Amino acid sequence: MELDIVKEKGKTVLIVDDEKPIVDILEYNLKKEGYNTLIANDGVEAVNIALEKRPNIILLDIMLPKMDGLTVCKKVRTALNIPIIMLTAKEEEIDKILGLELGADDYVTKPFSVRELIARIKANLRKYELSQEVSVENEAKDNDRKIKIGDLQLDLDKFEVKVRGKKVDLTVREFEVLRYLANQPGQVVSRELLLEKVWGYEYFGDIRTVDVTVRRIREKIEDDTTDPKILVTKRGIGYYIAKPEQ
C-alpha cells in the first residue's frame, strides 16, 4: 500500500467545473492527498489545458459554459488515452450513459462524497498505471504474449487489439474488459464479476457501466452490433468471447 501512495504523489488532476466552491474543495483535498491540480472553468479552456498540459486524469463536469462536458470528453478522448471521471448534477441515466459512450471511464453524481471521489481517482489511476507498466516492461521482449480467438487478436505486450488484422483503438478500460473475457473464451462472465475484476473493489458504480463499455467495444470490433459474433451476450447472465467454430 505504501508503494501505491508513493506512485500517486505528483500525479496531476485536471478539475473542470464552473462552480468555485466545488473547485476549491476538490483542489484542497487533492493537494492534501499529494496530487498536483490544474483548473478549468469552461469547456474550451478544459480542452486547451488537457491537450497542452496532458494531466494524468480529468474530473469533468457535464454542465459547463462555452462547451459542455460531453463534447469536451469526446474531443479529449480523440487525442489522449487517460482516465476521465464525469461529474454531473443530473440524475438522468441518459447523461451517465452518454458520458461513458463518449469515452469517460467513470461518473459521479453531485452531491458526492469527497472520500468516494478520491477512491475512484485512485482506482482509475492504478488501472491505467498497471496497463502502462505492463506495456513498458514487455517492450523489449518477443511478442509472444498474444491471445488469438478467431478474428480477434490481443497483443498484451503492445496493449493492442486487432480484428481480422486491422488495428482497433480501445481505451484502457475497454482493453481490460476485452482482455479479461479473452483469457477465458467461451466462459460466460457476469456483469457483477466484470465490475469487480476490471473496475476494482473500490469502484462504487452500477452494472450499467459494464453494459455501456461492452456496447462501445462492440461498435469497434463487430461488423453488426445487433448480431455480435465476437463479444456475445448470455441473456440474464453476462458476456463471453465466442470460440471459433471447429
Residue 127: predicted pLDDT: 77
Percent above pLDDT 70 for the chain: 83
Cβ density class 150-183: b for 16+ within 10 Å, e for less: ebbbbbbbbbbbbbeeeebebbbbbbbbbbbbbe
Q: Which residues pair with 38 in a beta bridge?
A: 14
Domain-ending residue, one of 134, 155, 187: 134
Cβ density class 70-90: b for 16+ within 10 Å, e for less: bbbbbbbbeeebbbbbbbbee
C-beta atoms surrounding 239 within 10 Å: 22
Residue 104: predicted pLDDT: 82
Same domain, 160 and 198: yes
Mean of per-residue pLDDT scores for the chain: 83
Same domain, 125 and 12: yes
Nearest CA-CA partner of 45 in 63, 5, 11, 72: 72
Residues ≥6 apart with Cβ < 8 Å to 24: none
Same domain, 61 and 183: no
Query: What digits encode the pLDDT tens for the residues 85-141?
Result: 988 876 666 666 676 777 788 888 888 889 889 988 988 888 777 666 554 444 444
Same domain, 88 and 26: yes
As a whole number of angstroms, the distance between CA 138 and CA 145 comes to 9
CA 85 to chain centre: 8
Residues ≥6 apart with Cβ < 8 Å to 210: 177, 191, 194, 195, 239
The sign of the torsion formed by the CA atoms of 186, 191, 192, 195 equals positive
**For 199, which DSSP code?**
I
Q: Which residues of the chain have pLDDT under 50?
A: 1-6, 135-143, 246
Same domain, 92 and 166: no
What nine digits make up the cell of 213?
Answer: 463499455
C-beta atoms surrounding 240 within 10 Å: 18
Cell 462504487 belongs to residue = 204
Question: Is 24 part of a structural domain of the chain?
Answer: yes
Domain membership of residue 157 as a residue range: 143-241
Same domain, 91 and 167: no
The Cα angle at residue 81 between residues 33 and 69, in degrees rounded to 5: 75
Number of domains in the chain: 2
Give the CATH number, domain containing residue 33.
Answer: 3.40.50.2300
3-class secondary-structure state, position 89: coil
Residue 244: predicted pLDDT: 80
